[in-house]
Amino acid sequence: MIRRLQLQNWRAYDRLDLELGPGATFVVASNGIGKTSLIMAAAWGIFGDVAGVRGVDEIRGDAEMATVTVELRLPSSGAMVITRSVDQRGRSRVEASLGDRTLDSQAELEQVLSTEFGAEAHVLAQLTFMIHGGLHETQGEFKLQDHLAGLFGVRPLFEAAARAQALSADAAGTLRRTKVVERKDQRQAEELVADMASAEQDLLAVQAARERAVAALNDAAERLRSSLEWASYRSALAERGAKLLAYAESAGSLLGRPLDPDGVVDAMTRWEAEVEAAVSGAETDAATARGKADFIRDSIAHLETSDAVCPMCLRPFGEHEAERATREQATHLDALQAVIADAQERAATQRALLMTLKRVLADIRSVPVPVEPSSDDVGGVLGAHSHADTDEVRRAHDAARDEVQRLDQDIAMRSASIKATRDALAAIERDREGASRLEELFRLEGIASAAALTFRDTADRIMTQQIEPLVAEVARRWKETFGRGGLQLSADGRITRTMGGRTLSFGALSGGERVWALLVTRLLVAGASTRAPFVWLDEPLEHLDPRLRRIVAGTLAMAASRSGLRQVIVTTYEAPIAQQLMEDVPSASLVYVTSSQ
């Protein structure tokens, strides 16, 4: 994510040093303060001209040069600092530091960014930054075919289709220029039949190999799922153990002796019972002493009457005898009052300790107990599993996936060849009198055209299958927002909507619909096909109706906590909505910009 943005002589800013954190941040400012300047500076600072920003046009006033410095936290946990500057003559310079390594060319920088974020620079710039407020006003559908083709491993198929199409076009041009006609003999047709029979056998063998590869891929996927479940389970066990150890140390300091984390609940429960008994005993002592004190008070009151008698022999007391008996009873009463005070003090002390014990016990009992996965432990014996084991399972899964993709390409090429051979044989049967040169050209054109079609159809089919979960999620969120379905996302990034049997292009959607479609697609595609941990959006709430504005703002506020994104920066002048989101989403933050100076 972007940790720091520094500007010098950039558009509205003379100087700026802005530190940023994770989560969703709403930058609130009135129009003309410099919200768009921040987004443009960050995009240009990281990606340069590929971000669609001309740095020379953004130099402030008569300044000689504009400089943007961006500090990034990379997915590999490394820190990169990029400094990019441009002067009034359009001469730009970029320098990036990555640990002990220094990058001083755009090509080197783009290579590192592509490796870290899992996509080429122009794709990252398209997905991570929205510039010039109102997304629907300046940007259309995403151009993602080449990026997704590389991600899903089908770029070789598209490249093969292009080569085959070029070969087909060349053969067609030669056909138009060719005047020489030669007869094709029966032997050539027989060779084609033999080649096709052999190719069909080979295709069956490759198809069988693909079935085995798919089974192996499914098994690898299940093992990877199980491995990740066990890794999560062990992590939860370790977290629980750490918490119990901390509670055991805290409880041990109260008890005055060390406690075993596994037995801390039992030890604390026994101690709780002992303290409860101590509280009860102290309260009993106090009650007993209070009863005796009440009896003595009654005795003293009787002695102070004129008809006081000895409680033993019942003879009347003399004047001095009653006074002596009263003093003795008062002495006993003072002793009992001391006993009561001591018992009450002990009871209060034990009650306070009991409350502490109950609170600690409640905290300990609230520590969740992880549920052991139902699947077999891929890592073997509990505790022997490591990240290396999961990485090994993941590599096996990726290798199985690559093998299926390789076999898909092989099947596509063989199918194209067989289809082309059939077409060539059909042409021979229709016109055996044609010239051999022309027939050869026809055959070449047919093979190339069929191969191009098959390659492209296979690539499109694979990409469509791979992107189906993303398409379904886009359609689901559209329906939740607008109460109706029909939104479609194609494998090359085109957005359409089906309504009443008609397919509407992206340009036919309303402004609010285009904003929402592109925003949801941007967040989902960025999370599913790249490792970019941030998205910066310039006034995406502008021109939306109040209901959709709240939905879009809420989606952005939650995006940084519910997806792979770590940072979402949104500029807006809608202060009330941003303030409400701060209350609804505690992880979101708010920054007010009152001046660009």
What would the pLDDT profile of 10-21 be if each residue is shown by its tens digit?
A: 988 999 998 998
Residues 216 and 291 in one domain: no
Report, as an integer, the average pLDDT of 22-31.
84
Among 28-37, 241-250, 492-501, the range scoring the smallest mean pLDDT is 492-501
Which pLDDT score, from 0 to 100, does residue 274 have?
87
Residues 173 and 104 in one domain: no
Number of domains the chain contains: 3
**189 or 445: which leads in pLDDT:** 189
Q: Is 430 inside any structural domain?
A: yes
Greatest CA span in the chain, whole angstroms?
A: 160
pTM, rounded to two decimals: 0.49
**CATH code, domain carrying 307:** 1.10.287.510
Domain stops at, among 339, 366, 393: 366
Q: Is 310 inside any structural domain?
A: yes
Which pLDDT score, from 0 to 100, does residue 384 have?
45
Q: Name the residue range of residue 414's domain.
A: 155-240+385-465
Query: Would you tell me how many other CB atoms lie within 10 Å of the CB of residue 266?
Result: 11
- Cα→Cα distances 509→140, 504, 517, Å: 11, 7, 9
Average pLDDT, the chain: 77
Q: Are 124 and 525 in contact (CB under 8 A)?
A: no
Q: Is 372 inside any structural domain?
A: no
> What does the angle CA 123 – CA 128 – CA 133 come to, to the nearest 5 degrees?
115
C-alpha to C-alpha distance for 524 and 503, rounded to whole angstroms: 23
Per-residue pLDDT of 53-106, as tens digits, reads 999 999 998 899 999 999 999 988 789 999 999 999 999 999 999 988 999 899
Residues 96 and 174 in one domain: no
Which pLDDT score, from 0 to 100, does residue 483 have?
61
Q: Is 376 inside any structural domain?
A: no
Query: Would you tell me how many other CB atoms lie within 10 Å of the CB of residue 52?
Result: 17
Question: What are the φ and ψ backbone dihedral angles of 311, each rounded to 5 degrees?
Answer: -70, -15
CA gyration radius, the chain? 40
Residues 450 and 576 in one domain: no
Report, as an integer, the average pLDDT of 367-396.
71
Name the pairing type of β-strands 13-19 and 79-87. unpaired
Residues 259 and 310 in one domain: yes
Which pLDDT score, from 0 to 100, does residue 287 have?
92
Residues 230 and 257 in one domain: no
Which pLDDT score, from 0 to 100, does residue 135 have?
43
Residues 235 and 247 in one domain: no
Residues 87 and 26 in one domain: yes
Residues 138 and 15 in one domain: yes
Among 168-172, 434-438, 551-555, 578-582, the range scoring the smallest mean pLDDT is 434-438
Residues 106 and 11 in one domain: yes
Q: Is 417 inside any structural domain?
A: yes
**371 or 375: which leads in pLDDT:** 371
Q: Is 216 inside any structural domain?
A: yes
Residues 336 and 400 in one domain: no
